[in-house]
Structure 1
C-alpha cells in the first residue's frame, strides 16, 4: 500500500526493527505461559464452568497469536506479489491459504478517488480469496463480495469517510469464491488533497473470523454456565423447600401427645424427649436424600427412623419424601419394622428410576420401654446408659432396592429411664466412614451423661462433628427416655 499523506502532516515513521523484535519476544513468551496454564486446566467438557474457562484460554491464545503475527508483519512489511505468470493448461486451481497463516490475517488497500484506481496488498487478495492476477476491486465493486445484510453497513462507513472525513472502524462479512464466509474488520481514513478535499481513502483490513468464533464460544459457554447455575440454584431451592415440608421442623423438644384416659403409662406425655438435626454438606450445594423422623402412632407407640437415599438434587429429595411417606403410612397401619422394610424394599426396587437406600426403623412402646427395630444396610442405633455407650447388635438387612424379595430381621431392646438413643446417617465422617463416626460418638458418652435434655445432647454431637465443615450431608436423631 502506498504511504498516505495528509495535507498538513507527514506519515509516521515505522518503529525500529529491534523494538518490534522485543515486542514479538514478549508476546510469544506470554502466549507460551497462557498455553501452559490452559494445558494444566484439565476439562472433560462435562462442567459448564470448565468449558467457559477453556474457551477464555482459547480466546486469549487467538488474540496473542494475532498480536504475534501482526507484529511480525509490521517488522517485515507487507508481502509483495510477484508478477503472475499464466498457469499451464492442466494446472489445478490454487488452494486456499492455511487458516491462521500470516498472509491471510491483515491486508491493506488504497482507493484513489481522482483516478478511480485501487491498490491492494497481497494479504488482502488472500483474505478475500481472489486471484492475485485480477485487478483490485474499486469502491463501487467492493460491496459485491459482501453479504447482503452487511452491505448497508459498509456503504454507510465508506460514505461517512468520503463525505464527512470520518475514520472507518467496523466489521462486515465477505463471501469468498470458494464459498467460505469470513469476517473482516476494516479501519481507514480519508487522505486529503492540497485543497482540503478527499483525494483517496486508505484502509487496513483484518480477517477476524477465528477471533470472533472464539468470542462466540466464550459467550455461549458463559451463557451455558449461567443457565447451569440458575438451574442449580432453582433445584437447590426446590429441594430445600421439599425437605423442609417433609422433615419435622423441631426447634424444641417434642413430647408424645396424651392419648386420653384409660391408657395408663402409655398415655404419658413425657416418655421421650426428642431432638434432631439435618446437617448439610459444605462440599455440595445440592440437597441429599438423608432424613429423620419421629411419629406418634395411633396405639401409643412411637416411630423413630433415619435413612439415606443415594444421590442429590430434587429427584432424590422427592424420592426421599415418597419413601418417608410410605414409612409413616405403613407404621401407622401397625406394620412391624421388619415387615415394613420388606415392603419398602419392594417399593424402591420397583420404581421407574432404581435407587439404593439405607435406613434404621424403630418402634418404641412406652408402656414396656421396648424398642423393636430393623435396619437396611444402615448404622445401628447407639445406646448410652450411665456414662457409657454401645452399639446395638444389628439384625440382618441389606440395602433397600438392592435385591427383590429381601428379608429383614428384627431385634428388641429394653430401655430404662434416663437412657439416650442416638440414630444417625453415615455422612458424619469423610468418606462415609461409619466406624470412625460411631467411635467418636461413643467417646462422647461421659459428656452426654451430663446433658439435661435431648437438645443439649444434640448440641454436643453437632459441635463434635462440625456443622459447616462437612463432605456429605447427614442426619442425627436423639431420643432421651424420660419416664
Structure 2
C-alpha cells in the first residue's frame, strides 16, 4: 500500500528506470562473485574457519537476494499500480527461499475510525486467513511472543503519542505454531492540526536473515574458541617441552667429573610452516661411571598429547640409562611402554652410550635416521642395526652396534624433519657417501666445514644456517657431539 506523507512533505519522485536496472546488473554480478567464493570454500565442515566462511557467504547471498527484490520493486513501481490477485485461504505460505515481495507486507491503522487494512503479503507473513478481518492495534500483540510484547507496545505508544518513527523487531507465533521474526518500520500520519490520525507500517519477515546471522555469530564464536584452545595448547606444549629438554644452551662439556671428553651442543627447530609443536627431543646425560648418554627421538602427533608422550619416553630413557640398560634392550622396553599406552602412537629414536676410556660408541635405533660421523673432512652414516619404529609391533627385538671414535670426530644426531625429503642415513650394506644404492644425505656435505669448526656449537650453527630456514613440514632436533679427548 502507498505510504502516507505528512502534509508539509512533498511526494518523492521515483528514480529513473535505467539507473535502477544498472544497479540490478551490478548486484547480480556481485552475487555471482560471492557465490563463486562460497563454492571455493572447501572442507567437510570440521574446520571452524571453513564453517565461518561459508556462513558469511550464505548471509551475503541472502542479503543480495533481498536487495535484488527491493530494486526490482523499485523499478517496477508500487504494487498498487498492478494489483496482484488475492491468495486463497488454502494457499500455503511461500518458502523461506522465495522472493522478498512475498515476505514484505504493509498495514495502516486509522485511529479515528478504529479500522485497519492489511496487504495480502502481511496475511502471508503472519499466517492469517485472508478472509479474516485485519487485527487492530489492540489485537496485534496477541500474535506476539510474551517476552516481545512490551517492546511492541513501547514502539506503538511512542509512535502514537510522541510521533516517533517505528523501527524494531519482534517475534510472532503463526497459527501453525511456527515462530517468525518480523521487522516493523512505520510512521504516524498527521492531520492538518498536527495530531496523529493514523499509523502506517511496513512489516518484513526477517527470520531467514536472522538465522543466517546467528549462523555467522555461532561459527565466529566457534572459530574464536578453537583459536583460543589452539593458543592455550601451544603454550602448554612449549612450556612442557622447555621443562623437559635439557636446560643448557650453547656448548656443554661432559663428563663434569674427570677429564672432559665430549663437547656437546643441540638445537630444537620449529616447523617452517607454523604447525603445532611436535614430540621431537634431544638429550645428553652424564651416567654413573663416567659414560655419556646421547639420544634424539620423535613421537608422532602434535600439541600437548605429543609433548607429554615425549616427556614420558624421555624420562624412561634417562631412568633406564642411569640403571645401566644397554641401548638395544632399552629400545625394547621403550617399545613395550609405547605399545601399552592408552592412545596409540608411533615413535622413532636413537640411543647411544659413549665410553670415554675406549672411545666406544654403543648404540641402537628404532626406525630413526642413523647418526652421521664426520672425520678428516668427510662424512658417512653409521651402518644401522635392526630396529622397527617404536609402537609398530609388540615384542620387537632391537639390534645394537658399536663404533670406535677418534679425537676430533664429530657425531651428528638428528630427527627426520630436519632435511625435507630425506628420511635417514644408509642402512648396513648401503653406500654411505653417495653414488651407490642410497641417495646421498645432504647433511654429509657439511663435512669440510665441520673440519674447520672449533666447537660443537659452531657445528650446530652451520646446520641451522643450511637447514634451519628450509620449508620443513615438521619440527626437528639436532645434537652434535665432538670428541675432544
Superposed pair shares fold, TM > 0.5: yes
Shift of the 427–73 alpha-carbon distance from structure 1 to 2, 3 Å rule, reads same
| Backbone CA RMSD of aligned residues | 1.7
Taking the aligned partners of 1:420 and 1:327, their CA distance within structure 2 comes to 23
Q: CA deviation at 1:432?
A: 5.7
Q: CA deviation at 1:46?
A: 1.2
Taking the aligned partners of 1:357 and 1:257, their CA distance within structure 2 comes to 29
2:254 match: secondary structure: coil
Q: CA deviation at 1:84?
A: 7.1
Q: CA deviation at 1:83?
A: 5.8
2:328 touches 2:398 (CA, 8 Å); kept in 1? yes
Q: Does residue 417 of the first structure (1) align with residue 407 of the second (2)?
A: yes
Q: CA deviation at 1:209?
A: 0.6
User: Out of 394, 417, 428, which is 2:384 matched to?
Assistant: 394
* TM-score under structure 2 length normalisation: 0.93
Residue 33 of structure 1 is matched in structure 2 by: 33
2:20 touches 2:75 (CA, 8 Å); kept in 1? yes
Taking the aligned partners of 1:237 and 1:107, their CA distance within structure 2 comes to 55
1:231 match: secondary structure: helix
Residue 373 of structure 2 is matched in structure 1 by: 383
Residue 17 of structure 1 is matched in structure 2 by: 17
Taking the aligned partners of 2:275 and 2:86, their CA distance within structure 1 comes to 67
* TM-score under structure 1 length normalisation: 0.94
Q: Does residue 97 of the first structure (1) align with residue 97 of the second (2)?
A: no
2:255 touches 2:262 (CA, 8 Å); kept in 1? no
The farther-off stretch of 424-433 and 214-223 is: 424-433
Residue 334 of structure 1 is matched in structure 2 by: 324
Matches within 5 A, 1:108-257: 108-257=106-255
User: Out of 273, 276, 279, which is 1:289 matched to?
Assistant: 279
Taking the aligned partners of 2:114 and 2:16, their CA distance within structure 1 comes to 34
Residue 441 of structure 1 is matched in structure 2 by: 443
Taking the aligned partners of 2:86 and 2:252, their CA distance within structure 1 comes to 97
1:18 match: secondary structure: helix
2:369 touches 2:423 (CA, 8 Å); kept in 1? no
Taking the aligned partners of 1:245 and 1:83, their CA distance within structure 2 comes to 76
2:268 touches 2:476 (CA, 8 Å); kept in 1? yes
Residue 53 of structure 1 is matched in structure 2 by: 53
1:444 match: secondary structure: helix
Query: Which whole-Å deviations, capped at 9, do the CAs of 1:26-67 have from their partners, x for residues lacking one?
Result: 212211111011101212111111111111111101110111
Q: What runs of 5+ residues in structure 2 fail to find an aligned partner? A: 426-437
Query: Which whole-Å deviations, capped at 9, do the CAs of 1:273-309 have from their partners, x for residues lacking one?
Result: 0000000013234110000000100121100000000
Q: CA deviation at 1:169?
A: 0.7
1:111 touches 1:117 (CA, 8 Å); kept in 2? yes
Taking the aligned partners of 1:378 and 1:291, their CA distance within structure 2 comes to 13
Query: Which whole-Å deviations, capped at 9, do the CAs of 1:451-480 have from their partners, x for residues lacking one?
Result: 000000000000000247432100000000
Q: CA deviation at 1:321?
A: 0.2
Q: CA deviation at 1:443?
A: 0.5
User: Out of 262, 277, 301, which is 1:311 matched to?
Assistant: 301
1:457 match: secondary structure: helix
Taking the aligned partners of 2:361 and 2:87, their CA distance within structure 1 comes to 99
Shift of the 232–84 alpha-carbon distance from structure 1 to 2, 3 Å rule, reads closer
1:255 match: secondary structure: strand
Residue 433 of structure 2 is matched in structure 1 by: none
Shift of the 23–464 alpha-carbon distance from structure 1 to 2, 3 Å rule, reads same
2:298 touches 2:415 (CA, 8 Å); kept in 1? yes
Q: CA deviation at 1:258?
A: 3.9
Q: What runs of 5+ residues in structure 1 fail to find an aligned partner? A: 88-92, 260-266
